[in-house]
């Protein structure tokens, strides 16, 4: 079973690439982030024609998440139970579903903007709520994983130059402590370093030749429980999908399971 996560940075803009990638990669379950569309405008018909059921939680603007599955889709939960609001809005940043033998959460963790900003405090509250929300699934006997854009680099090795991030979000101790708390529910990072590349980044800024210069970050993660981790047979970051015209600024992260 092949499971992946991808911040697609607009499912509408990326639809031809998304459909082509699903076909070429043979992915069974894909967790999407940053759909940037509404549930009504989500390309359900096109994805259904490709063999995928869709669980979507999106309201347009800058957020939106989904689970695409050709392995079954059940027990869908839209939103983060107990999650905080930002400026009075419960943003669409989480959706969970059972896909055959595996349960997954697709999450798009708040960016945080800058240290000391209200959005940074919101990010930490959101991560605390995520930890509480996934605890039961993490402790279950069936394979379970939280996949998505966490907007946190777990270690200094996960950014191209740690000194370039001094005083910035994504690398602060409170953010990394929140990730450690999430792992404390019984989850582990199932995509090891190094993979094929010395620095298996998953995100490169569009600006200043970030991708050609490999000035990236590893912020798209797959955290699985013991049953999920023990079933992992291979994993990789699909850097090729970051190349070319019209690419997202994130690359898909792919995990193969024997379940």
At 19-74, the pLDDT tens digits run 999 999 999 999 999 999 999 999 999 999 999 999 999 999 889 999 999 999 99
Name the H helices within 39-172. 44-49, 118-139
Q: Is the pTM of this model over 0.85?
A: yes
CA dist., res. 139 & res. 232, Å (int): 18
Contact 122, 86 (CB under 8 A): yes
CATH class of 2-257: alpha beta
CA 179, distance to chain mean position in Å, is 14
Helices and strands of the chain, counted as H and E runs = 5, 14
CA 180, distance to chain mean position in Å, is 17
Q: What local confidence, expressed as pLDDT, does residue 194 receive?
A: 57
CA dist., res. 71 & res. 239, Å (int): 25
Phi, psi values for residue 53, rounded to 5°: -85, 155
Q: What local confidence, expressed as pLDDT, does residue 61 receive?
A: 81
Q: What local confidence, expressed as pLDDT, does residue 74 receive?
A: 98
CA dist., res. 54 & res. 243, Å (int): 26
| Burial annotation 94-117 (CB, 10 A radius, 16+ → b, else e) | bbbbbbbebbbbbbbbbbbeeeee
pLDDT average per 10 residues of sequence, the chain (259 residues): 98 97 98 98 98 97 95 98 96 98 98 96 98 97 98 95 95 98 97 66 94 95 98 94 96 97
Contact 103, 73 (CB under 8 A): no
Annotated domain spans of the chain: 2-257
Q: What local confidence, expressed as pLDDT, does residue 52 receive?
A: 98
First-to-last CA distance in the chain? 7
Q: What local confidence, expressed as pLDDT, does residue 195 receive?
A: 56
């Amino acid at each position: 079973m092949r499971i992946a996560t991808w911040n697609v940075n607009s499912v509408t803009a990326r639809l031809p690439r998304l459909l082509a990638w699903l076909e070429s990669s043979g992915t069974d379950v894909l967790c999407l982030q940053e759909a940037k569309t509404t549930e009504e405008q989500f390309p359900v018909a096109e994805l259904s024609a490709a063999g995928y059921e869709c669980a979507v939680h999106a309201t347009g603007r800058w957020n939106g998440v989904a689970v695409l599955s050709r392995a079954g889709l059940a027990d869908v939960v839209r939103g983060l139970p107990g999650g905080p609001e930002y400026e009075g809005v419960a943003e669409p940043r989480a959706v969970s579903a059972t896909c055959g033998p595996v349960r997954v959460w697709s999450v798009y963790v708040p960016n945080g903007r800058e240290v000391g900003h209200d959005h940074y405090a919101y990010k930490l509250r959101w991560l605390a709520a995520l930890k509480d929300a996934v605890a039961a699934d993490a402790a279950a006997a069936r394979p379970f994983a939280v996949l998505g854009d966490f907007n946190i680099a777990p270690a200094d090795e996960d950014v191209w130059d740690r000194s370039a991030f001094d005083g910035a979000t994504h690398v602060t101790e409170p953010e990394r402590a929140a990730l450690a708390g999430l792992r404390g529910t019984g989850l582990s990072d199932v995509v090891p370093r190094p993979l094929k590349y010395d620095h298996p980044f998953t995100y490169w800024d569009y600006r200043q030749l970030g991708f050609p210069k490999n000035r990236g970050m590893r912020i798209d993660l797959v955290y699985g429980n013991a049953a999920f981790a023990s079933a992992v047979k291979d994993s990789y970051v699909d850097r090729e999908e970051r190349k070319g015209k019209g690419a997202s600024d994130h690359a898909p992260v792919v995990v193969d399971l024997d379940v």
